[in-house]
Amino acid sequence: MTENIETSGQRKFLLFLMLLCSTFIFSQQTVTGRIVDDSGENLSKVIVINMSSDKKVYSDSEGVFSIEANPNDELRFVKEDFNRTSRRVLTNGINSPLFITLYQIPKDVGEVKIVKKLTGDLETDSRIVAKVDKGEQVRDAVGLPQPVGKMREKPAEVKSVLLPILLGNLNVQGVYDLISGKARRQKRQYRYDDLQEHVAWIRDRIEDDYFVKAGIPADRISEFIQFSFLAKPQVRTYVKAKNLSGVMLRLEETAPLFIQRLKENQK
């Protein structure tokens, strides 16, 4: 009798798992659509991001895209020099093809001075508030080579020190660096230097006024950027790739979290 009860329980559990899996599979659907610009021309290489699953696809030469999504997922459409837009999909069980229009960001003409009025859209504002790196412009103009890597002493590693010892070779300096803690201090210092360099890279390219109008106090801007590095590690990946638009896209997601934390600390 006990064996029959256990068998029945196992069958019910397996049935529950199958039902759960089938519910997930059938709830996920393929969303398709076409992306054009404001003149009706097809837009290729538009990044389509499912903000729930972080899946990304690109539109093809006809502006057509296809991506997996669940009900009420948000799709974000991003292309350089265009205002980004978002769309909720599979709402009310409807899965009709999407028709997305992206509007091009107006470019500055000649020497006309335009007042920097922020829109609240980071994709647009990243170009409005971006500072010009004069040094980089000169290097590009004259074709000067960019420095490769950092000229600094490499900290001793346990494997690189112990393995030669097993082969009969003693790295005295390496052993000293490990025992004295010098290697550990070097790594900690390098991490701090890299962090400050990445924070400075962002601050050198984005006006403080932008952060202030987004709700970040002027004296907390660097703290906010460091918070973003922890909350969204992809921010530093974009910094290393020198992709300002990518950095600002991620900063947009962390700003509300940081502002909320400030409000909680003030209570």
- Please indicate, yes or no, if residue 6 is contained in any of the structural domains: no
Domain extent for 188: 153-196
Residue 267 CA to residue 245 CA, distance in Å, equals 34
Q: Give the chain's mean pLDDT.
A: 76
Number of folded domains in the chain?
2
Backbone dihedral angles phi then psi of residue 164, each to the nearest 5 degrees: -60, -30
- Please indicate, yes or no, if residue 143 is contained in any of the structural domains: no
- Please indicate, yes or no, if residue 115 is contained in any of the structural domains: no
Q: pLDDT digits over 207-221, tens only?
A: 888 888 888 999 999
The residue with greater pLDDT, 189 or 111, is 189
- Please indicate, yes or no, if residue 210 is contained in any of the structural domains: no
pLDDT of residue 42: 93
pLDDT of residue 123: 52
Return the DSSP state at 65: E
Domain end (from 196, 229, 260)? 196
Task: Judge contact between 174 and 156, C-beta under 8 A.
Answer: yes
- Please indicate, yes or no, if residue 161 is contained in any of the structural domains: yes
Count of beta carbons in the 10 Å neighbourhood of residue 102 = 20
Worst-scoring range by mean pLDDT, 8-17, 66-75, 232-241? 8-17
Q: pLDDT digits over 24-37, tens only?
A: 444 689 999 999 99
The residue with greater pLDDT, 223 or 3, is 223
Domain end (from 196, 221, 251)? 196
pLDDT of residue 170: 65
Contacts of 250 (CB under 8 A, 6+ apart): 228, 232, 234, 235, 238
Task: Judge contact between 33 and 100, C-beta under 8 A.
Answer: yes
pTM summary value = 0.44
What is the domain-level CATH number for residue 61? 2.60.40.1120
CA angle (51, 82, 44) in 5-degree steps: 80
